[in-house]
Amino acid sequence: MFKMFSIMTVLGLALLAVPITAQTIDPQKATVPFAFFAGNRQLPAGDYAIRETLPFTILILSPTKGAFVLVRPAAAERTEDQGRLVFNKYTGDRYFLREVWYQGAKNGLAVPRSQKEKEVVSSTLISGLRPERAVVLLAGK
Determine, yes or no, domain membership for 82: yes
Q: How confident is the model at residue 128 (pLDDT cuts 50, 70, 90)?
A: low
Query: pLDDT tens across 65-119, in order?
Result: 999 999 999 988 888 889 999 999 998 889 999 999 998 888 899 999 999 998 8
pLDDT of residue 16: 43
- Detail the DSSP E strand segments found in 2-93: 28-32, 36-38, 41-43, 46-54, 57-61, 66-70, 72-75, 84-90
Backbone angles phi, psi at 123, to 5 degrees: -75, -30
* Cα(54)–Cα(43) distance, integer angstroms: 21
If one compares 22 and 131, the residue with the highest pLDDT of the two is 131
What range defines the domain where residue 48 resides?
Answer: 26-137
Determine, yes or no, domain membership for 97: yes
Determine, yes or no, domain membership for 117: yes
Q: Do 111 and 97 touch, CB atoms closer than 8 A? A: yes
Instruction: Report whether pLDDT(140) > 90.
Output: no
Q: How confident is the model at residue 37 (pLDDT cuts 50, 70, 90)?
A: very high
pLDDT of residue 121: 84
Three-state DSSP class for residue 58: strand
Determine, yes or no, domain membership for 7: no
Determine, yes or no, domain membership for 72: yes
pLDDT of residue 83: 93
pLDDT of residue 62: 94
Determine, yes or no, domain membership for 17: no
Determine, yes or no, domain membership for 50: yes
Determine, yes or no, domain membership for 15: no
The total of structural domains in the chain comes to 1
Q: Which of 15-19, 57-61, 122-126 has the highest mean pLDDT?
A: 57-61
Q: Do 17 and 54 touch, CB atoms closer than 8 A? A: yes
